[in-house]
């Protein structure tokens, strides 16, 4: 019985590891840029340029202009 519980627990935790990360959001404050938001919210191992383009696409931004009060979705980057 103990073995079955351990195996079930391992399978259950493995299912969460494969789950897609939910996007987080950030509200733009004065002085923010897409670059600064990217550097603050993504790991340093990620290329900020890739993250910026992902943010632009997720939010339907036509250019790089953002304004205080805007709420931006910060999608997980595909690896």
* Per-residue pLDDT tens over the stretch 40-51: 999 999 999 999
The count of structural domains within the chain is 1
Cα dihedral across residues 46, 50, 52, 57: positive or negative: negative
36 located within any domain: yes
pLDDT at position 42:
95
Radius of gyration of the chain (CA): 18
58 located within any domain: yes
16 located within any domain: no
Banded pLDDT at 75 (limits 50, 70, 90): very high
pLDDT at position 78:
78
Contacts 24+ apart (CB under 8 A), 53-61: 58/23
User: Side-chain half-sphere of 45: how many Cα atoms within 13 Å?
Assistant: 2
Burial class from Cβ neighbours inside 10 Å (0-12, 13-18, 19+) for residue 45 reads exposed
pTM: 0.70
Chain segment 6-35, per-residue pLDDT in tens: 454 554 554 444 455 666 999 999 999 999
Higher pLDDT, 79 or 74: 74
pLDDT at position 18:
47
71 located within any domain: yes
1 located within any domain: no
CA distance 52 to 38: 6
10 located within any domain: no
User: Which structural domain range is residue 64 located in?
Assistant: 23-79
41 located within any domain: yes
CATH number at residue 28: 3.10.350.10
13 located within any domain: no
């Amino acid at each position: 019985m103990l073995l079955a519980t351990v195996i079930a627990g391992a399978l259950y935790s493995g299912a969460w590891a494969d789950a897609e990360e939910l996007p987080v959001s950030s509200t733009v404050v004065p002085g923010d840029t897409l670059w600064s938001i990217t550097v603050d919210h993504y790991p340093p191992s990620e290329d900020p340029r890739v993250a910026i383009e992902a943010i632009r696409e997720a939010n339907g931004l036509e250019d790089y202009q953002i304004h205080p009060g805007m709420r931006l979705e910060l999608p997980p980057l595909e690896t």
